Amino acid sequence: MSLGVTDLKKGTIFQLDSVPFKVVEYNQKVMGRGGSIVNVRIKSLLDGRVLDKTFKGNEQIDSADVTNKTVQYLYGDGGKFHFMDQTSYEQFELAADTIGDQAGYMKEGDNVQAQLFDGRVLSVELPKNVPLKVTYTETAVKGDTSSSITKDAQLETGITIKVPAFIKTGDVISVDTATGTYRARVKD
């Protein structure tokens, strides 16, 4: 299936020279006499390199046949992260640089979406928000519990984020995986 370059919005996945790319930034400039130019920053889903590309408004590009499959995160062993397909029980691994910062939001046993292109796993996509347990944070000073004051909290995956002063060690909080910010305390 063909896509027009004006269909390239942020997050769109397409194919260029048989390589799948994801649009990271999109900017369209309308020129005189009805023409337009589309500038995009794209990230290769095969090797992670980021490119700047300019298309003319009438160009056509190929959509990428990327499929998603639910997989289970098993464990990480330093340089590799191991996952299992829940239907076939096949296991596969991804390099740490492919996972990147997402590693701080995955716990053993979590389900994530694997993106596949031509039967090959390219990357994993986390849910928008994940619940994580606070393993350590300073206790709030009495009277200093307004929601505008934040403090550091270490989470069960090892990352540290800013949380409101009323969060205590042992609380489960919802964390936005896109920004790495506190969203809310999870009720039991």
pLDDT digits (tens, 9 = 90+) for 83-113: 999 899 999 999 888 888 888 999 999 999 9
Give the domain-ending residue among 75, 90, 125: 125
**Predicted local distance difference test score (pLDDT) of residue 153:** 94
* Alpha carbons 151 and 184: distance in angstroms, whole number: 14
Distances (CA, A) of 151 to 157, 160, 163, 164, 183: 18, 10, 6, 6, 14
Is the pLDDT confidence value at 6 over 80?
no
CATH number of the domain that 167 lies in? 2.40.50.140
pTM of the predicted protein model: 0.73
Among 23, 38, 63, residue at a domain's last position: 63
Q: Are residues 142 and 112 in the same domain?
A: no
User: Residue 96: helix, strand or coil by DSSP?
Assistant: helix
Final residue before a domain boundary, out of 125, 140, 175: 125
Query: pLDDT for 24-81, tens place per residue?
Result: 888 888 877 767 888 999 988 887 789 999 988 788 888 888 888 999 999 998 789 9
The burial of 7, by beta-carbon neighbours within 10 Å (0-12 exposed, 13-18 middle, 19 or more buried), is given as middle
- 80 and 54 share a domain? no
With cut-offs at 50, 70 and 90, classify the pLDDT of residue 142: low
Tokens of 143: 């009277």
By 3-state DSSP, what share of the chain in percent is helix, strand and coil, each rounded to 5?
10, 55, 35
In a shared domain, residues 140 and 116: no
Find the domain containing 47 and state its range: 2-63
Q: What percent of the chain has pLDDT over 70?
A: 95
Q: Give the number of domains in the chain.
A: 3
Residues 46 and 71 in one domain: no
Sign of CA pseudo-dihedral 84, 90, 96, 99: negative
Say yes or no: 57 and 80 in one domain. Answer: no
93 and 116 assigned to the same domain:
yes
Tell me: do 39 and 72 sit in the same domain: no
Residue 45 sits in a domain whose CATH number is 2.30.30.30
